[in-house]
């Protein structure tokens, strides 16, 4: 007993475990319905709440299979493979057999407080796993862990305190999704649909645009190999825009480099081991460089967002001629046109690990007027600064929350229930 009124329970005494399942994949009547069907990948994102899933099922699948429908507010925990990932449902959802659904036992605890208990005990849950090929949390795991439980008013107060941090982190995440959606919407409007040009060609003021910005766009189109494009904009080959880079990282320590590239995951444990063994073979990249590569015949592509980094020699590094194209806009344009780059694989490349550099450089792309590019980059930079600020705030909030969690759960910090 930690404080007066705190009592010790086994985890299994304060929660109810619910099993999941997978509807028969060969039955089309079970899939692509309106009910989210969770797998671990859907909620292994570091957020408290999960609202959607990659796959969905139908009510018939619920009725005729072993999967179960969890209610909004109940919990889910990954029990096999990547064990101990916990989330709280933002809406009703079903789930597969690699997870347990969890609900609190009434009069002992609440789902909100139980979420934080499990986060507090997750390291012990991971230690008490079973299985040979996969680590597995079983029902017996919850029998072996005991917890100190405060009175319900204190539980609600603790959940409120910790929840306020997660709520703000969630809000920041939603704000950033909105900001990123604004970025994409402006990009599509200006550089794909040419809405400002169409408006000016019809003697209309472009929607949501001031006169100074509108005048940067032409008021007519001209024919090109891409069809109609804004008058004065050009079609150029990548040879004029990109310069191939062979610069190596030299003898610097591997730990001094980290590659953060939009759309690519280039730094992991295996990569760092490779880097430390043969640093001189890896290619050096700096902020604004474009990276192309292939993996299993799928084009990988990204823009370097940090000052310095390095990647494996299998990737092709290009420096952007900033007098022709702003790298951030070029990255968005290439990503939009990505289906046009599926043919840049070298025919002789084993397992598709290399691209045909010369063929890539011979491809053409629309080059907008630099004044329009700069205006877009001004808006883009403002949005990116807001996104970065929100992300930094969320990291700080998460650190404070994580520092408070053990102190609140152990009773080290006393909570005055009258404040909540």
The span from the CA of 97 to the CA of 118, in Å, is: 19
pLDDT at 419: 65
Q: For position 274, what pLDDT does the model report? A: 43
SS3 sequence, the chain? CCCCCCEEEEHHHHEEEEECCCCCCCCHHHEEEEEEEECHHHHCCCCCEECCCCEEECHHHHHHCCCCEECCCCEEEECECCCCCEEEECCCEEECCCEEEEEECCCCCCHHHHHHHHHHHHHHHHHCCECCCCCECCHHHHHCCEEEECCHHHHHHHHHHHHHHHHHHHHHHHHHHHHHHHHHHHHHHHHCCCHHHHHHHCCCCCCCCCHHHHCCCCCCEEEECCEEEECCCEEEEHHHHEEEECCECCCCCHHHCCCEECCEECCCHHHHHHHHHCHHHCEEEECCCEEEEEECCEEEEEEECCCEEEECCCCEEEEECCCCCCHHHHHHHHHHCHHHHCCCECCCCHHHCCECHHHHHHCEEEECCHHHHHHHHHHHHHHHHHHHHHHHHHHHHHHHHHHHHHHHHHCCCCCCHHHC
pLDDT per 10-residue tile (average), the chain, 420 residues: 79 96 96 96 93 96 95 96 93 96 96 97 83 75 94 95 97 97 97 97 94 97 95 96 83 47 48 45 84 68 80 84 96 88 61 72 95 98 97 98 96 80
Measured in degrees and rounded to the nearest 5, phi and psi for residue 162 equal -70, -35
Write down all domains in the chain, each with its CATH number in brackets.
Answer: 7-149 (3.90.220.20), 152-228+368-420 (1.10.287.1120), 234-366 (3.90.220.20)
pLDDT of residue 135: 78
- Residue 271's pLDDT is what? 38
Q: What is the pTM of this model?
A: 0.84
Report the distance separating Cα 213 and Cα 29, nearest Å: 51
What's residue 191's pLDDT? Answer: 98
Give the pLDDT confidence score for residue 351 in this predicted structure. Answer: 46
What per-residue confidence (pLDDT) applies to 132?
52
Q: How many angstroms separate the Cα of 220 from the Cα of each of 195, 213, 226?
A: 11, 16, 16
pLDDT given for residue 276 in this prediction: 44
pLDDT in the model for residue 264: 56
């Amino acid at each position: 007993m930690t404080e007066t009124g705190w009592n010790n329970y086994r985890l299994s005494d304060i929660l109810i475990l619910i099993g999941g399942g997978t509807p028969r994949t060969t039955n089309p009547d079970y899939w692509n319905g309106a009910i989210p069907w969770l797998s671990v990948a859907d909620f292994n994102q570091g957020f408290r709440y999960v609202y959607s899933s990659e796959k969905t099922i139908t009510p018939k699948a619920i009725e005729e299979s072993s999967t179960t429908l969890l209610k909004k507010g109940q919990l889910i925990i990954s029990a096999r493979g990547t064990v101990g990932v916990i989330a709280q449902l933002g809406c009703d959802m079903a789930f597969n057999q690699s997870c347990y659904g969890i609900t609190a036992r009434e009069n002992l605890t609440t789902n909100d407080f139980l979420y934080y208990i499990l986060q507090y005990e997750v390291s012990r849950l991971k230690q008490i796993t079973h299985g040979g090929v996969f680590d597995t949390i079983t029902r017996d795991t919850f029998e072996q862990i005991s917890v100190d439980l405060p009175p319900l008013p204190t539980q609600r107060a603790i959940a409120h305190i910790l929840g306020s941090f997660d709520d703000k982190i969630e809000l920041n995440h939603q704000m950033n999704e909105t900001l990123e959606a604004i970025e994409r919407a402006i990009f599509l409007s200006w550089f794909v649909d040419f809405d400002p040009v169409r408006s000016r060609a019809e003697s209309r003021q472009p929607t949501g645009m001031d006169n100074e910005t509108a005048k940067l766009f032409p008021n007519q189109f001209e024919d090109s190999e891409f069809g109609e494009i804004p008058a004065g904009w050009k079609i150029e080959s990548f040879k004029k825009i990109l310069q191939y880079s062979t610069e190596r990282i030299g003898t610097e320590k591997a730990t001094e480099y980290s590659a953060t590239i939009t759309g690519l995951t280039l730094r992991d444990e295996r990569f760092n081991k490779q880097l430390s063994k043969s640093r001189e073979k890896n290619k050096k990249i700096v902020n604004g460089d474009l990276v192309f590569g292939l993996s299993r015949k799928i084009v990988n592509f990204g823009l370097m967002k940090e000052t310095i980094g390095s990647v494996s020699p299998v990737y092709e590094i290009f420096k952007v001629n900033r007098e022709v194209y702003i790298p951030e806009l070029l990255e968005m344009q290439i990503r939009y046109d990505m289906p046009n780059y599926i043919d840049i694989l070298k025919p002789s490349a084993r397992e598709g690990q290399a691209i045909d550099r010369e063929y890539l450089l011979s491809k053409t792309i629309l080059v907008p007027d630099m004044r329009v590019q700069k205006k877009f980059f001004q808006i883009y930079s403002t949005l990116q600064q807001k996104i970065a600020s929100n992300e930094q705030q969320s990291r700080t909030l998460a650190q404070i929350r994580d520092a408070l969690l053990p102190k609140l759960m152990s009773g080290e910090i006393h909570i005055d229930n009258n404040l909540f």
